[in-house]
Amino acid sequence: MASKRKRSGTSRASKPRKPATKPKSSPKARATRKPASRLIDQRIRDLGDWREETLARMRTLILAADPDMIEERKWRKPSNAMVGVPVWSHNGIVCTGEMYTKVVKLTFARGARIPDPSRLFNSSLEGNTRRAIDIHEGEKVDAAAFKALVKVAVALNGPPAKKR
């Protein structure tokens, strides 16, 4: 029968556990991060063509329609050069802005529920939830009608959820 030797040191159960979540970054590290608005500014400037003008104009209209709109960058991945997608939200996502070679696409998260008497929605019309506006080079979007869509999208998101 083999003798059992006692391990030196402490048992596994008595060792302190590492936290499951990453520690919060220092205030200095947080202060050096670029806010989403500046990242969106940079992305627009990097385009350097008609898409730059188009996205900048639509962004201005979105922010004019709702001054409390929050700008974010989401879904950073290699397919979008790790810059992410501009997202505008107010009590939930209102719309996203994506730039493709031939089109600037503004997708409204709950667009299927938004009345569109000016017929701005011209893409993703078959779905039950989203609707999109594809803007091609040289096309102009009716500013008043677009701002009305944004306002209705914000209203559909409703007030913030109450904390328990």
What DSSP assignment string belongs to the chain?
-PPPPPPSS--GGGSPPPPSSPPPPPHHHHHHSPPHHHHHHHHHHHH-SHHHHHHHHHHHHHHHH-TT-EEEEE---GGGTT--EEEEESSSEEEEEEE-SS-EEEEETTGGGS--TT----BSTTSSS-EEEEE-TT----HHHHHHHHHHHHHHH-SPPPP-
Query: What is the model's pLDDT at position 23?
Result: 39
Query: What is the model's pLDDT at position 162?
Result: 72
**What pTM was computed for the model?**
0.69
Domains for the chain: give ranges and CATH numbers. Answer: 35-157 (3.90.1150.200)
Q: What is the mean pLDDT of each run of 10 residues along the chain (164 residues)?
A: 53 50 38 54 68 91 95 79 83 93 94 95 93 96 97 90 68
